[in-house]
Amino acid sequence: MSHQDRVFFGNFMAVLAFIVVAAFAFYFIAQWAVTGDGESGENAMAVQVANENIKPVGSVVVADQSGGTAVAAAPRSGGDVYNSYCMACHSTGAAGAPKLGDKAAWAARADKGLDGLLTTATNGLNAMPPKGTCGDCSADELKDAIRHILSESGIKVAGGDAAPAAAPAPAAAAPAAVAAADTGKGKQVYDASCMACHSTGAAGAPMLGNSAAWAPRIAQGMDTLLQHAINGIRAMPPKGTCMACSNDDIKAAVDYMVSESK
């Protein structure tokens, strides 16, 4: 190697060493700026601003098993309750239910007054189950549903009563509880939510025990029958109006009706 080459190589190594030392120096200075005093200064402020920008706009409070406070659900309107729980029978006249819009049929019942009608709706009457299967409806929600039905049937509702209150009719006795050991969950759900239509054939519902009507439906498979029961089909509303029923409850009812109709 010539003298000139050795000088060039020496200078090159010196420059390279300087660059490496400078890089290490800058790295440690940057680390100090981020994790040292800067954390309590501008860097911390930047982190705080970022956290403020991405925090949720609200929170959901759910009651726990030990009695925590939950946000009360908004009451349902009379129209909502009717569409979800009453329409299946009162739009078709199933099992003798007075139809929406039949002023003559409702005028005779309106003589009870709103409180009397509420008592009947709460306790059930004839084929109508208590609360029309809306087990979680409050008294005010049932009253609003009654007001909706009367209003849509041409009965004026003034001052909270459909008519001057007469002596309330004796409350109909609530149906006796059916022991699960005797009939099973399926029959309980059927009696409470399905019987009004499936015992009368209202709106084309296949009647319990009618094997000819059930045969083509059973041929579709139990999964299809269950989906129809959960989602509703034609005049049948979702879950047969039993919105409080779980999918397992609905399946038990479908299994019961199929077993009784083969």
| Residue range 23-48, pLDDT digits in tens | 888 777 777 765 554 444 555 565 56
* 235 vs 103 pLDDT, higher one: 103
Q: Does residue 73 or residue 72 have the better pLDDT?
A: 73
Distance CA 201, CA 161 (A): 34
- pTM of the entire predicted model: 0.44
For 107-143, give one letter per residue: b (16+ CB within 10 A) or e. bebbebbbbbbbbbbbbbeebbbbbbbbeebeeebbb
Cα 121 to Cα 145: distance, rounded to the nearest angstrom: 10
Number of residues that make up the chain = 262
Q: How far apart are CA 240 and CA 92, in angstroms?
A: 14
Cα 205 to Cα 17, 83, 197, 232, 262: the distances in Å are 91, 18, 6, 12, 16
CB 133 within 8 A of CB 142: no
Three-class DSSP category at 244? coil
DSSP state of 120: H
Residue-averaged pLDDT of the chain = 75
pLDDT at 71: 52
Say what the pLDDT of residue 42 is: 54
Q: Are 103 and 154 in contact (CB under 8 A)?
A: yes
pLDDT the model gives residue 46? 59
Q: What is the pLDDT of residues 198-234, one digit of tens each?
A: 887 777 788 889 999 889 989 989 899 889 888 888 7
Q: Which two tokens stand for residue 32?
A: 């100090």
The strand pairing partners of 236, in sequence order, are 233
Reported as a single tens digit per residue, the pLDDT across 147-186 is 999 899 898 865 444 444 334 444 444 344 333 333 588 8
Q: Helix crossing, 247-261 with 211-218: angle to 10°?
A: 130
Return d(Cα 179, Cα 160) in angstroms, integer.
39
